[in-house]
């Protein structure tokens, strides 16, 4: 089977995807499309998982463990239904069998079934449909996204240079087919909590993710206003 990614662009090919990924449940990690996460894999069952993934589609599903997972961690504790599909971009196998891997988020998917016959779980995924959007709709969503980014206080920006590039790209007509990736990159440029990242992951459509980012920006402004000795932030202020 040919891998469901293009070696030049790293874009995910939905048509080539088998629909199944090994699950790697983690307590505080959410993989958004477009994000890079380094992982150290040491548990025997997940070493097998990485070995099998490398021999197959080079894909794994990062799943967020639900609260209370500790008691049943070594079994199959409950996970959030939406998972980040990640491509194993690079790997290093250590002498004792452990792995260091670099995972690139390439898609989001909803778990619809689980196979527990292996040492690790394998999930059957349902990918969100790619709904058509008009240029007018995308322009409206892009303007809303730009407002959300402009009203996010600077202290909550993780990657200012990426955010500047996104602002520039949002000021010109957007390709509807690429808008979802732009929204994911916007989310990845902010300091977000685990719960917020999971909310973005579970927002299947781009306009839902824009709405989520707007809500997060408003929440951040309220948090900032409650800090003692902090003046209300006015967006548009330049530090130059």
pLDDT recorded at residue 235: 53
Question: Residue length, the chain?
Answer: 240
How far apart (Å, rounded) are the C-alpha atoms in residues 75 and 49? 15
Question: What does pTM read for this prediction?
Answer: 0.86
pLDDT recorded at residue 194: 95
Number of Cβ within 10 Å of residue 117's Cβ equals 7
Rounded average pLDDT per 10-residue block, the chain, 240 residues: 50 92 95 95 96 96 86 77 96 95 97 96 96 92 92 87 85 87 92 95 96 93 75 45
pLDDT recorded at residue 45: 95
Closest CA to 213 of 128, 156, 175: 156
pLDDT recorded at residue 1: 44
How far apart (Å, rounded) are the C-alpha atoms in residues 62 and 216? 23
How many Å separate Cα 93 from the centre of its chain? 25
Complete DSSP assignment for 111-163: EEEEE-SSSS-EEEEEPPP-----HHHHHHHHHHHHHHHHTS-GGGBS-HHHH
Residue pair 100/38 in contact (Cβ under 8 Å)? The answer is yes
**143, two tokens:** 């303007």
For tokens 């199944």, what's the residue? 20
Query: Can you give the C-alpha Rg of the chain in angstroms?
Result: 19
pLDDT recorded at residue 234: 52
């Amino acid at each position: 089977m040919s891998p469901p990614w293009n070696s030049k662009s790293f874009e995910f090919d939905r048509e080539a995807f088998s629909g199944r990924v090994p699950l790697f449940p983690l307590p505080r990690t959410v993989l958004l499309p477009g994000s890079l996460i380094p992982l150290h894999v040491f548990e025997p069952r997940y070493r097998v998982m990485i070995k099998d993934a490398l021999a197959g589609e080079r894909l794994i599903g990062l799943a967020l463990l639900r609260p209370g997972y500790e008691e049943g961690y070594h079994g199959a504790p409950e996970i959030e239904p939406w998972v980040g599909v990640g491509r194993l971009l690079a790997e290093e196998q250590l002498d004792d069998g452990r792995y260091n891997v670099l995972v690139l988020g390439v898609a989001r998917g909803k778990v619809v079934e689980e196979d527990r016959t292996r040492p690790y779980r394998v999930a059957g995924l349902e990918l969100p449909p790619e709904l058509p959007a008009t240029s007018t709709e995308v322009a409206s969503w892009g303007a809303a996204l730009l407002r959300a980014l402009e009203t996010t206080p600077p202290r909550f920006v993780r990657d200012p240079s990426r955010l500047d590039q996104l602002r520039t790209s949002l000021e010109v007509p957007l390709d509807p087919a690429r808008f979802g990736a732009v929204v994911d990159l916007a989310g990845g440029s902010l300091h977000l909590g685990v719960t917020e990242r999971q909310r973005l992951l579970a927002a299947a459509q781009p306009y839902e993710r824009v709405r989520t980012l707007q809500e997060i920006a408003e929440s951040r402004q309220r948090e900032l206003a409650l800090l003692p000795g902090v003046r209300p932030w006015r967006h548009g202020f330049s530090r130059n």
